Amino acid sequence: MGLTMDMLKVMTSEGKIVSVGEGHWGAIYADYLKHAGRKNIVRKCRQMGMTTFALARGFMAASEGKTCVVVAQRHNMADYMWNTVRGFIQNLLTPPPIKWTFTNRHAFGLEGCIPHQYQIFNSDRFHSGLGMKVDFVHFQEFAWWSRDDQETVWNSLMPCLSPDAEVIIESSPQFGDSGKFDDVWVGAEQYGFVRHFFPWWKNPICVGAPIDPNTITLKEETMMVMNGLSLEQMGWRRKALGYYKAMFGGDKEFKREYGENLI
């Protein structure tokens, strides 16, 4: 029997151990699963928990004996993601329902299965030519990889997908050349992908003191009407935008962290 999302635990920034789908994350994940296909590309703001969710999806697939490959943007993210996965194992109920065999720093497998059943790579150190079918693929912050790394990993992994493989490509916005991410996002239907857009207002915690209706700008009014946003949500946006403008002298960093545009 495979694992369920409720069985997988993570530690919050407050040091509390919670289920992956607990709290505000649960609503975000339910939205994703409602529309998900076999191949999925996610454009999201930061702090949405999508990386953790994708790791959990891959871990559950591995618990069923499937082969999973995760590719991180940077080496430090590969370490962070590996620690998250180790946490899934360490926080399972005792006795654990599954026995794992760890083969190296970023790889493990079910006891009795192939040794590198679940692997996490760094995007610029990916080993092409895996020589096996892959049942689950997760690209983390794909838009931020170099174009060369995007093409190398894409061309190496996509031909290895099993017929029923699940793919999750997720990234926050990269203004400028996002390379293959933009190619797949814009041409999702052609590539056979389902698009998922998670801007900041889909995160239930992004609310603040309501703004005065008499101070609403035309841009804010348009955003509220188009996306059904509340005065409390716009209050959060004003405060966050003010912080980023004060820190970085403009709104570019805010847009990068909390992408508001579908394209």
CATH classification of the domain holding 42: 3.40.50.300
CB of 206 within 8 A of CB of 233? yes
Same domain, 191 and 110: yes
Residue 108 pLDDT > 80: no
Q: How many CB atoms lie within 10 A of CB 22?
A: 15
Please identify, among 150, 175, 198, the residue that sits at the C-terminal boundary of a domain.
Answer: 198
List the domain range (segments joined by +) for residue 102.
Answer: 5-198
DSSP 112-171: TS-TTSEEEEEGGG------S-EEEEEEESGGGS-HHHHHHHHHHHGGGEEEEEEEEEEE
Q: What is the pLDDT of residues 181-204, one digit of tens each?
A: 999 999 999 999 999 999 999 888
Query: Does 105 share its domain with 228?
Result: no
Asked if residue 263 has pLDDT above 80, the reply is no
The reply to whether 54 falls in a domain is yes
pLDDT (tens digit per residue) in 238-254: 999 999 899 888 888 88
- Phi, psi angles (nearest 5°) of residue 247: -80, -40
Tell whether 165 and 219 lie within a shared domain. Answer: no
CA distance 197 to 170: 10
Helix (H, G, I), strand (E, B) or coil at 9: strand
Question: pLDDT confidence of 165, banded at 50, 70, 90?
Answer: very high
Q: Are residues 82 and 110 in the same domain?
A: yes
Q: How many CB atoms lie within 10 A of CB 126?
A: 18
Quote the number of domains for the chain.
2
Backbone torsions φ then ψ of 41, nearest 5 degrees: -125, 130
